[in-house]
Structure 1
Amino acid sequence: MATILLVEDDPSARAGLEFALTRLGHSVTARETGELGLEQVRAQRPEIVILDVMLPGIDGVEVCRRIRAEDSLPVILLTARSDDIDVVVGLEAGADDYIVKPVEPRVLDARLRAVLRRVERAPGDRSTHGDLVIDRGTMKVRRAGQDVHLTATELRLLLELSRHPGQVLTRQQLLASVWEHDFLGDSRLVDATVQRVRSKIEDVPSRPKYIETVRGFGYRFVAS
């Protein structure tokens, strides 16, 4: 069971998802605006936030951005549109996943459980690559002696890439291992998360030395 904050302005959609997720065993708090959602996050931190993108006032992308400025709390965006710009903006704001509405509650349940599994501890192991230290035991990353604050998804992606140094992992392999998507998923999830990780661990993100792009295939972690 997870404690979920659902932020959805449509009353029928909000009531339907709240009822369905509760029936599936979760504890759900529902709010109808981004402002109320942010207040709830700060008052009683949930395990995961499910955000509608098209909210009145502060929209879901901005709510995600504000959460991400303070916390690594997992966030899933619900969007009625699958336009590239909407999806990319949401992912760049720090969302862990996104789902196009309407969504079947059991599908949403499976996706949120997959996101939450990313925070589980991995077997103990520590590796050093130049000034980058990846500690799987404590699930922490340090760069030049300073903690690097990664979301659960960003950390899971870095762990997966660094677990196979020098090996090219395709976007579909990463979708399966990090996001647990067992279908031909959306590679934008991978690309946007790679960009966010690079912005935090690379000296010059546009000229990465740790996570290389292998055009036409995917990404490779370069161990030093």
Structure 2
Amino acid sequence: MKLILIADDDPSIRSLLRHVLTGEGYRVAEAKDGEEAAALLRETTADLAVVDVMMPRMDGLALCGHIRELYDIPIILLTAREGLTDKEKGYMSGTDDYMTKPFEPRELLFRIKALFRRYSRSSSDRIALNGVVIDRQTYEVTAGDEVLLLPLKEFELLAQLAQYPGRVFTREDLIALVWGADYEGDSRTVDVHIKRLRERFERRQDDFTIRTVRSVGYKLEVTSP
């Protein structure tokens, strides 16, 4: 079930969006300003963000740029401003779509579904981490001239982290995404598989590293060339 982040300082807008999105089967996380939204993204895995432009502390344009820098998720900006210059600022900040208030909730749903389709089609089957390439069609990992065949769960865990470099995943996120929501083991399984991946790619730290985020989970960082 996809999780949508709503960042808006207007509680009535958050309430409306919560009602509409949960009615369509989405999960919702809410933030009343940009800083709170950024903190939520560090703790959970959102699939799309609906962001108001005018917010305290960190406004929507700054939040949009922050999301685009760290996460590969679609963004829809909401604003009461409909001038061309305002739209230009939104798209320059990295938004995928732009809606002016007041908006029709059904149209927002159409746009959300269209963005999910677009991102699904554009996701690559090959993920390059400098000299390490993950092929999700053949389940092979190429490290330089060496082709590695990892155990399935190790491969899926590595591919999940590598698909979103810089994004922090909790152990619970990774259990749900890799092992499935009905998995009956505990989250220490993730720690064991992370340890094996680190050992396996110990000599490839010039390509990427898997970092522990204390008390939260893990993230993969691509090493700058």
What's the TM-score once normalised by structure 1's chain length? 0.54
**Unaligned regions of 5+ residues in structure 2, if any?**
134-163, 165-225
**Unaligned regions of 5+ residues in structure 1, if any?**
123-135, 152-224
Task: Name the counterpart of 2:94.
Answer: 94
- Over the aligned positions, Cα root-mean-square deviation in angstroms equals 2.8
- Checking the alignment, whether the CA contact within 8 Å between 2:7 and 2:50 is kept in structure 1 is yes
Task: Name the counterpart of 1:61.
Answer: 61
- 1:82 corresponds to which letter in structure 2? E
- 1:95 corresponds to which letter in structure 2? T
CA distance in 1, matches of 2:88, 2:109: 23
1:1-224 paired onto structure 2 within 5 Å: 1-121=1-121, 138=125
Tell me by how many angstroms 1:121 deviates. Answer: 3.9
CA distance in 2, matches of 1:78, 1:139: 33
CA distance in 2, matches of 1:7, 1:40: 10
Tell me by how many angstroms 1:2 deviates. Answer: 2.5
- 2:9 corresponds to which letter in structure 1? D
- 2:102 corresponds to which letter in structure 1? P
Change (3 A) 1:84 1:35: same
Change (3 A) 1:98 1:141: farther
In the comparison of the two structures, how many residue pairs are matched? Answer: 136
Tell me by how many angstroms 1:16 deviates. Answer: 1.2
Tell me by how many angstroms 1:19 deviates. Answer: 1.2
- Checking the alignment, whether the CA contact within 8 Å between 1:10 and 1:32 is kept in structure 2 is yes
Change (3 A) 1:92 1:25: same
- 2:13 corresponds to which letter in structure 1? A
CA distance in 2, matches of 1:88, 1:98: 10
Task: Name the counterpart of 2:156.
Answer: none
CA distance in 1, matches of 2:128, 2:104: 36
Rg (Cα) greater in structure:
2
- 1:138 corresponds to which letter in structure 2? D
Moved more, 97-106 or 57-66: 97-106
Task: Please list the CA deviations of residues 20-47 of structure 1 after superposition, one character each: whole Å capped at 9, or x if unmatched.
Answer: 2111221111111100000111110210
Change (3 A) 1:107 1:70: same
- SS of corresponding position for 2:90: helix
- 2:99 corresponds to which letter in structure 1? I
Tell me by how many angstroms 1:138 deviates. Answer: 2.1
